[in-house]
């Protein structure tokens, strides 16, 4: 907040409080030169106004509220840039990255001054952490249950689904069927592999697709030809001559997508032969992929959610493709 705004807010807040107090004192002192209870001469619809003082209970309540407001404003942030004597914060403010967040939070922990948000998180962890451990660990409490087993446990996948709705649905959709650029997680078609370990690795560390842009090296003709070849791989009708020329150029794509175009999960290079398109299968969309490249980013969740929740989420994702 700028200094001007800070002073502005402070003056208005304190001015209002003290102004009201002054009004109250003035009203309780001024008897208008009349006896208490004497008619003031004002009548409204036959109701006469008498010169009575403000009710005592009301006056005390008002004074109490003024005192409360002043104590509150002294203890908590509210007056412009003044942080309050208690140093209370709703969250770690001005934090711009996960690293800064962890640093700020470790700092606060050391000083025994957790912000409100973190106190709530710690409390939630105490209540629910045990539940997550119960669902994800073997009875001995030290080794994880197999992801494929948890995936058959309806109770666990229900909790996994909640976690998914909170953390993943904004990108992958609440039904996990994805959207343009965000893979469908229910179709058993995997960029990075669908084994329990591969899914868990994807969630823990994130993924970054890296399809180079070919527009400059292929030229417009080259882009069109190679696109025709790519479309022909999934049985689409294309100009045969163009596709043949494109096939000759596909050698430079094969390093990642494989000679047969079936993709490579080690690099997250999609299978181009199955008619499933991450970025759309229209000629224009495929040309766009080839010309300008693509770089989808799946965030890493290890530091955000912790491994227990990731294990549970991996089971949920696994269950979407491997139900009974
Ligand atoms: C900010 C958007 C975003 C969020 C949030 C997100 N993802 Fe992703 N996810 C992606 C993108 C984009 C990809 C594809 C990366 C690529 O193109 O290489 C991906 C890929 C994946 C894959 C790999 C799919 C495959 O075919 O191999 C899995 C599994 C996955 N996400 C699960 C999750 C789960 C579970 C969560 C919640 C914890 C989550 N994602 C949250 C964007 C997101
Ligand atoms: C360095 C490895 C690499 C090379 C070389 C490469 N690709 Fe890709 N390609 C990828 C990756 C990785 C993706 C997925 C990008 C993402 O997930 O955001 C991709 C995505 C695509 C897509 C989008 C697929 C979809 O489902 O929407 C098309 C089309 C494509 N590549 C065609 C080609 C063609 C044609 C060539 C050769 C001119 C080529 N690629 C060369 C790695 C590569």
Give me the pLDDT at residue 158, please.
95
Give me the pLDDT at residue 104, please.
83
Ligand 2 binding pocket includes 9 (Cβ within 6 Å): no
Tell me which of 256, 273, 298 to substitute to probe ligand 2's pocket, judged by most ligand atoms within 8 Å of the beta carbon: 256
pLDDT digits (tens, 9 = 90+) for 80-95: 889 899 888 888 777 8
Pick out the chain residues at pLDDT < 70: 30-31, 323-324
Give me the pLDDT at residue 192, please.
97
Ligand 2 centre to CA of 221 (Å) is 18
Ligand 1 centre to CA of 291 (Å) is 24
**What count of other Cβ atoms lies within 10 Å of the Cβ of residue 116?**
11
Please tell me the distance from the alpha carbon of residue 49 to that of residue 58, in angstroms, as a whole number. 18
Give me the pLDDT at residue 33, please.
77
- Residues 6 or more apart whose Cβ sits within 8 Å of residue 290: 214, 215, 218, 223, 226, 227, 230
Give me the pLDDT at residue 309, please.
95
Ligand 1 centre to CA of 120 (Å) is 28
Give me the pLDDT at residue 115, please.
83
Query: What torsion do the CA atoms of 310, 311, 314, 318 make, to the nearest 10 degrees?
Result: -170
Give me the pLDDT at residue 51, please.
85
**What count of other Cβ atoms lies within 10 Å of the Cβ of residue 225?**
24
Ligand 2 centre to CA of 207 (Å) is 15
**Ligand sitting nearest the alpha carbon of 265:** 1
Please tell me the distance from the alpha carbon of residue 202 to that of residue 209, in angstroms, as a whole number. 12
Tell me which of 98, 151, 171 to substitute to probe ligand 1's pocket, judged by most ligand atoms within 8 Å of the beta carbon: 171
Q: What is the CA radius of gyration of the chain?
A: 33
Ligand 1 centre to CA of 185 (Å) is 8
Please tell me the distance from the alpha carbon of residue 31 to that of residue 37, in angstroms, as a whole number. 10
Please name the residue that has the structure tokens 């100009």.
239
CA torsion sign for 302, 303, 307, 309 is: negative
Give me the pLDDT at residue 96, please.
84
Give me the pLDDT at residue 134, please.
92
Ligand 1 centre to CA of 162 (Å) is 16
Please tell me the distance from the alpha carbon of residue 266 to that of residue 117, in angstroms, as a whole number. 39
pLDDT digits (tens, 9 = 90+) for 146-172: 999 999 999 999 999 999 999 999 999
Give me the pLDDT at residue 324, please.
53
Tell me which of 150, 163, 180, 183 to substitute to probe ligand 1's pocket, judged by most ligand atoms within 8 Å of the beta carbon: 183
Give me the pLDDT at residue 297, please.
96
Give me the pLDDT at residue 274, please.
95
CA 29 to chain centre: 57
Please tell me the distance from the alpha carbon of residue 182 to that of residue 127, in angstroms, as a whole number. 33
Q: Which residues of 232-267 are buried (b: 16+ CB within 10 A; e: fewer)?
A: bbeeeebeeebbebbbebbeebeebbeeebebeeee
Ligand 2 binding pocket includes 267 (Cβ within 6 Å): yes
């Amino acid at each position: 907040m700028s200094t001007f705004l800070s002073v502005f807010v402070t003056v208005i807040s304190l001015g209002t409080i003290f102004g009201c107090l002054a009004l109250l004192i003035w009203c309780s002192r001024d008897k208008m030169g009349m006896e208490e209870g004497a008619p003031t001469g004002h009548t409204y619809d036959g109701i006469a106004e008498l010169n009575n003082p403000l009710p005592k209970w009301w006056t005390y309540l008002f004074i109490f509220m003024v005192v409360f407001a002043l104590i509150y404003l002294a203890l908590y942030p509210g007056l412009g840039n003044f942080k309050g004597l208690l140093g209370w914060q709703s969250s770690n403010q001005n934090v711009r990255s996960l690293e800064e967040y962890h640093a700020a939070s470790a700092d606060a922990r050391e000083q025994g001054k957790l912000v409100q948000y973190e106190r709530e998180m710690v409390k939630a962890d105490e209540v629910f952490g045990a539940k997550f451990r119960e669902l994800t660990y073997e009875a001995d409490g030290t080794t994880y249950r197999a992801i494929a087993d948890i995936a058959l446990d309806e109770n666990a996948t229900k909790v996994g689904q909640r976690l998914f709705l909170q953390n993943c649905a904004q990108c992958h959709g609440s039904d996990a069927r994805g959207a343009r650029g965000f893979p469908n997680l229910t179709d058993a078609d995997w960029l990075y592999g669908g084994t329990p370990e591969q899914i868990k690795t994807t969630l823990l560390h994130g993924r970054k697709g890296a399809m180079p842009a070919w527009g400059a090296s292929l030229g417009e003709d080259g882009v069109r030809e190679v696109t025709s070849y790519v479309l022909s791989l999934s049985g689409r009708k294309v100009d045969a001559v163009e596709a043949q020329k494109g096939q000759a150029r596909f050698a430079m794509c094969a390093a990642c997508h494989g000679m047969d175009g079936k993709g490579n999960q080690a690099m997250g290079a999609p299978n181009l032969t199955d008619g499933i398109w991450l970025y759309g299968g229209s000629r224009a969309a495929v040309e766009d992929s080839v010309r300008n490249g693509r770089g989808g980013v799946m965030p890493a969740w290890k530091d955000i959610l912790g491994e227990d929740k990731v294990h549970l989420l991996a089971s949920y994702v696994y269950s979407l493709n491997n139900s009974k």
